[in-house]
Amino acid sequence: MTQQQSVYLDYAAATPVDERVLAAMQPYFCDRFYNPSSPYAPSVQVRRDVEDARHRIAQTIGVKPADVILTAGATESINLAMTAVGDGEIITSTIEHPAVLESAKQYSHTLIDVSSTGLIDVDDIVRTITPNTQLVSIGLANNELGTIQPVRRIADAIQRERDRRSQVGESRPLWLHTDASQGVGQLDMTVSRLGVDLLTLNSAKCYGPKQVGLLWRAPGVQLRPIIHGGGQEAGVRSGTENVPGVIGFATALEIAARTRNSETKRLQELRDTLQRHIESGIDIAEINGHQKKRLAGHLHVSVPGIDAERFVFMLESVGVYVATGSACAANHGTRSHVLEAVGMSAQQADGSLRLTLGRHTDDAAIEYAAEQIIIAVQSERDRIGL
């Protein structure tokens, strides 16, 4: 057997750590290992480096460093964000990541439906808000379909509700949280433009190390700590800082911000090429999600009648790694709640693949992947006579 090509098309699940990120982290494992809270000079230097990283992170999203809480990944960030609900209620959508849905379940909450393309209707949120609503949490871009939500318009609607409350003298605050993990490097993360009050980011989705993330919260948002201890992160998140992780995260976010425009354009062209190949090579293929309001590197496609999990195994044998959200054994045999929520038929969901492109995807990778996907579909169709 000849050395086969390997094409990774699951950047939405994990991204490789960028070499520059790794290089930035390297000194902090053995040489500069000091606890940033210790009193001697090398520790003080590490403290400065951590705070410098926090500063750089804050700059990429246009906020004050003091309002950035560093966490162990996005799930923790989301769990912490949910505590902003206080004694009020949460509104979120049916297609959110399990980190949001499961956290929301800990509180009084309402789920709103989405359209067949996975888009949230701002009016649905407006209609669902009650005087008891204290937190709205909507992901900036859906991790399965890649659909980008109108977060800015949701923020405007929330501002109108706040104005109403202040006019009638209702004291309950109302906050908007977004998990923007999937959008880093492809979407504008400037908090003032997003209009949110709480923002979650994940280092592992933007070429940084895993188990590093952040929660930004606007001044005035009250959080209840979920991890107690030495009082780090302004008392909101205890535990010795993950120094190499934070340093790496800062570098990763800076690269993402710097390359965003060119990389988004490049990914979109590659994705469109892949989509064209699939549409012309597989007559029964259906493209899911919103065709315009969609992450540049995201392609969600169904081949109804075909078992997508077989596909994953067929493609892995030729070195192409893709995801399926449906009826997957790894998913304990359940269908994706997102695909169910957008009203996808079982057949369409079971035959769906998520292809997500990233920094190392190039023309050759797209050509090879498209070819192998088309071959695999054809051989499955021949086998089952579809």
* DSSP line for 38-73: SSSHHHHHHHHHHHHHHHHHHHHHT--GGGEEEESS
Is the CB of 44 or the CB of 374 nearer to other proteins? Answer: 374
For β-strands 320-321 and 213-217, DSSP reports them as unpaired
Is the CB of 364 or the CB of 384 nearer to other proteins? Answer: 384
What is the arrangement of strands in the sheet containing 352-356, beginning at the earlier edge strand? Answer: 286-288, 298-302, 352-356
Distance CA 351, CA 304 (A): 5
Q: How far is the CB of 370 from other proteins (least distance, A)?
A: 20
Distance CA 240, CA 30 (A): 16
The tokens describing 174, both together, are: 């109302």
State the number of binding residues for other proteins (CB under 8 A): 12
Is the CB of 155 or the CB of 376 nearer to other proteins? Answer: 376
Is the CB of 165 or the CB of 337 nearer to other proteins? Answer: 337
Binding mask 254-293 for other proteins (x = CB under 8 A): ----------------------------------------
What residues have CB less than 8 Å from 242, skipping those under 6 apart? Answer: 70, 72, 211, 212
Q: How far is the CB of 376 from other proteins (least distance, A)?
A: 10
What residues have CB less than 8 Å from 54, skipping those under 6 apart? Answer: 65, 68, 70, 246, 250
CB atoms within 10 A of CB 66: 12
The question of whether 206 is a catalytic residue gets the answer no
CB distance 109 to 283 below 8 Å: no
- Quick check: 3 binds other proteins (CB under 8 A)? no
Is the CB of 345 or the CB of 379 nearer to other proteins? Answer: 379
Binding mask 306-335 for other proteins (x = CB under 8 A): ---xx--xx--x-----------xx-xx--
* DSSP line for 298-330: EEEEE-TTS-HHHHHHHHHTTTEE-B--SS-GG
Q: How far is the CB of 306 from other proteins (least distance, A)?
A: 12
List 218, 328, 374, 375, catalytic entry? 328
CB distance 184 to 178 below 8 Å: no
Q: How far is the CB of 351 from other proteins (least distance, A)?
A: 15
Distance CA 94, CA 40 (A): 50
> Contact region for other proteins (CB under 8 A) — 7-15, 128-136, 210-218, 305-313?
305-313
Is the CB of 106 or the CB of 379 nearer to other proteins? Answer: 379
Contact pick of 48, 258, 360, 383 for other proteins (by CB under 8 A): 383
Q: How far is the CB of 311 from other proteins (least distance, A)?
A: 9
Q: How far is the CB of 313 from other proteins (least distance, A)?
A: 4
Using CB under 8 A, list all residues that contact other proteins.
309-310, 313-314, 317, 329-330, 332-333, 379, 383-384
- Residues noted as catalytic: 328
